[in-house]
């Protein structure tokens, strides 16, 4: 079977079986429900902070769900995974395009697509209303990643996990400075910062203590990776977010040198 034929077959199977998969894992928190968050969330309440001790931020060259599985049994029910999302189309048009970008990769392996309502789309990419996203609290991850041919994990294998998915879109094809390292419009930087804070608040305010993040907008959306990595680091180190997470991992899938190396260097020895 060709790679495209495999992706098509898996996509059709996942769409058809998602209600059953969710039902099978309801006791683990699986649900088809989701919430569209239309504006920035309030700052985290320091009085409710669990006060976790600092831990080193990891950067791995990996699929996001694979990184989530590596958290282990202690993380059960407490994992949030960032989807590097489209704000134009449901899962970036995955059911039609069958592409391999990060959001679409998550859809092959899980019930994520079933939780994304058509009515949510589109929402603004920049400017008013752009700091927004979807919170899917109970997504069943039932298959391995694209590099491992999307092999299904049997129900009894213990390899399936249920995670929350944070669907937030970075600025799309922003105008950059001549050196390509910064946003030409300062307001786009403020939008980006708002989106990053929204991701962190979505996870923590819902009791998710393990986060799998990614290189927001550094693929098809053409955001400058050095800037994005530094912004994600600097905001994560703000006082508001201290003590909320047991472990933070950046899953930056990259063949050869690229975004992975940039994030690896910028987060070297970073502790949150």
pLDDT in the model for residue 78: 99
pLDDT confidence band for 99 (50 / 70 / 90): confident
Q: What is the largest CA-CA distance in the chain?
A: 55
pLDDT in the model for residue 97: 82
Query: Closest Cα partner for 132 from 143, 124, 141?
Result: 124
Is 200 within a domain? yes
Which whole number is the average pLDDT over 118-141? 98
The count of structural domains within the chain is 1
> Is pLDDT of 1 > 90?
no
pLDDT in the model for residue 223: 98
pLDDT confidence band for 199 (50 / 70 / 90): very high
Query: Which single residue is written with the structure tokens 């180190």?
Result: 237
Is 198 within a domain? yes
Compute the distance between CA of residue 18 and CA of residue 95 in angstroms, rounded to an integer. 14
Q: Are 135 and 46 in contact (CB under 8 A)?
A: no
pLDDT in the model for residue 156: 87
pLDDT in the model for residue 95: 83
Domain with 64 in it: 3-266
> Is pLDDT of 18 > 80?
yes
Question: Over the stretch 32-89, which tens digit does the pLDDT of each residue have?
Answer: 999 999 999 999 999 999 999 999 999 999 999 999 999 999 999 999 999 999 999 9
Which whole number is the average pLDDT over 179-205? 98
Is 171 within a domain? yes
Question: Over the stretch 209-246, which tens digit does the pLDDT of each residue have?
Answer: 999 999 999 999 999 999 999 999 999 999 999 999 99
pLDDT in the model for residue 62: 94
Q: What CATH number is given to the structural domain containing 169?
A: 3.40.220.10
DSSP state of 49: -
- Total-model pTM: 0.97
Sheet with 79-84, side-by-side order of all strands: 35-37, 133-141, 161-168, 79-84, 210-213, 247-251, 58-60
Is 272 within a domain? no
Count CA atoms within 13 Å of residue 209 on its CB side.
18
Which whole number is the average pLDDT over 118-126? 98
> Is pLDDT of 255 > 80?
no
- The overall average pLDDT reported for the chain is 96
Burial class (CB in 10 A: 0-12, 13-18, 19+), 150: buried
Compute the distance between CA of residue 263 and CA of residue 154 in angstroms, rounded to an integer. 34
Is 151 within a domain? yes
Is 271 within a domain? no
Question: b/e string for 54-87 if b means 16 or more Cβ within 10 A?
Answer: eeebbbbbbbbbbbbbbbeeebebbbbbbbbbbb
């Amino acid at each position: 079977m060709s790679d495209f034929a495999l992706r098509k077959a898996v996509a059709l199977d996942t769409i058809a079986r998602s209600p059953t998969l969710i039902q099978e894992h309801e006791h683990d928190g699986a649900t088809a429900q989701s919430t569209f968050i239309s504006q920035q969330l309030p700052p985290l309440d320091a009085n409710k902070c669990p006060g976790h001790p600092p831990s080193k931020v990891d950067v791995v060259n990996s699929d996001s769900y694979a990184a989530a599985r590596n958290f282990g049994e202690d993380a059960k029910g407490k994992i949030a995974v960032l989807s590097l999302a489209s704000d134009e189309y449901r899962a970036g048009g995955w059911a039609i395009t069958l592409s391999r970008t990060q959001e679409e990769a998550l859809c092959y392996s899980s019930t994520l697509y079933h939780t994304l309502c058509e009515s949510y789309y589109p929402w603004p990419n920049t400017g008013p209303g752009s700091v927004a996203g979807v919170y899917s609290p109970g997504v069943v991850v039932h298959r391995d990643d694209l590099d491992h041919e999307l092999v299904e994990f049997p129900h009894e294998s213990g390899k399936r996990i249920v995670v929350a998915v944070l669907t937030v879109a970075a600025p799309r094809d922003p105008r950059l400075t001549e050196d390509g390292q910064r946003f030409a419009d300062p307001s786009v930087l403020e939008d980006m910062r708002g989106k990053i804070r929204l991701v962190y608040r979505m996870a923590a305010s819902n009791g998710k203590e393990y986060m799998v993040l990614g290189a927001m907008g550094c693929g098809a959306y053409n955001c400058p990776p050095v800037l994005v990595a530094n912004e994600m680091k600097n905001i994560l180190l703000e006082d508001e977010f201290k003590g909320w997470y047991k472990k933070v991992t950046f899953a930056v899938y990259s063949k050869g040198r690229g975004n992975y190396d940039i994030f690896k260097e910028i987060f070297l020895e970073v502790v949150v």
